[in-house]
């Protein structure tokens, strides 16, 4: 019951945050996204026929099956899964972690993130543009906020699985994993750039690239 209440409170806070969201304000009651439209706009065009399924999603109800090399799984509930979120400036996600699992350093270019711990314990943090690490350990029932655009992470250093619910003040906050973007982009960033930036030699650059793509 406590988890359910906390979940509802968190969702309400996310809804309130939409009044100061980074997304453009809605100009009508609803604008359910037409995800199949060929029209390119900032967001998605509205479709004419809508129903309740456009506003619902069951994908966050239970832990996902984790197969990633990082030992974590992100399940999103944004406009791509819930077309009714279009123009509403809010979305959610669930992150599940194996013992030792990491949600690696990444950014959300279009939204601030707030997480609520469903189960377990996590070491979390973000880095400011002054290169200051703001970090702490959070436990079941606790909340932590990651400001928009700043590099942040979560790691489960415990011996039990952990899970969080995340809310964003954007319908599609985006996610850019730092290591993957730099070492596994298409076309690739050249080895000399990466080598100089990280002060490593070419064989080490190639080893990291192979590890991320493997």
The count of residues in the chain is 214
51 marked ligand binding residue: no
103 marked ligand binding residue: yes
CA distance 149 to 124: 16
CA distance 4 to 140: 13
CA torsion sign for 174, 177, 181, 185 is negative
108 marked ligand binding residue: yes
Say how many C-beta atoms besides its own lie within 10 A of residue 125's C-beta. 19
- Residue 189 CA: distances (Å) to CA of 112, 150, 183, 210: 28, 22, 7, 14
CA distance 106 to 146: 11
CA distance 39 to 24: 18
Give which of 63, 78, 108 is closest to 14, Cα–Cα: 78
152 marked ligand binding residue: yes
156 marked ligand binding residue: no
Contact (Cβ atoms closer than 8 angstroms) between residue 172 and residue 90: no
What are the binding residues for Mn(2+)? 106, 108, 113, 152
Which residues participate in the annotated binding site for oxalate? Answer: 103, 108, 113
What residue numbers does the annotated binding site cover?
A: 103, 106, 108, 113, 152
């Amino acid at each position: 019951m406590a988890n359910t209440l906390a979940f509802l409170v968190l969702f309400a806070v996310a809804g309130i945050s939409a009044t100061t969201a980074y997304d453009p304000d809605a100009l009508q009651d609803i604008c359910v996204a037409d995800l199949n439209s060929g029209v390119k706009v900032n967001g998605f065009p509205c479709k004419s026929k809508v129903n309740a399924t456009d506003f619902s999603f069951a994908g966050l109800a239970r832990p996902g099956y984790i197969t990633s090399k990082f030992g974590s799984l992100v399940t999103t509930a944004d406009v791509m899964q819930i077309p009714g979120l279009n123009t509403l400036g809010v979305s959610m996600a669930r992150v599940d972690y194996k013992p030792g699992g990491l949600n690696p350093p990444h950014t959300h270019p279009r939204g601030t993130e707030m997480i609520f711990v469903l189960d377990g314990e996590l070491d979390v943090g973000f880095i400011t543009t002054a290169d200051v690490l703001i970090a702490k350990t959070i436990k079941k029932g606790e909340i932590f906020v990651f400001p928009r655009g700043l590099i942040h992470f979560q790691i489960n250093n415990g011996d039990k699985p952990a899970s969080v619910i995340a809310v964003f003040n954007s319908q599609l906050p985006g996610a850019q994993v730092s290591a993957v973007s730099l070492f596994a982009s298409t076309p690739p960033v050249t080895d000399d750039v990466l080598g100089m930036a990280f002060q490593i030699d070419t064989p080490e650059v190639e080893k990291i690239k192979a590890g991320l793509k493997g």
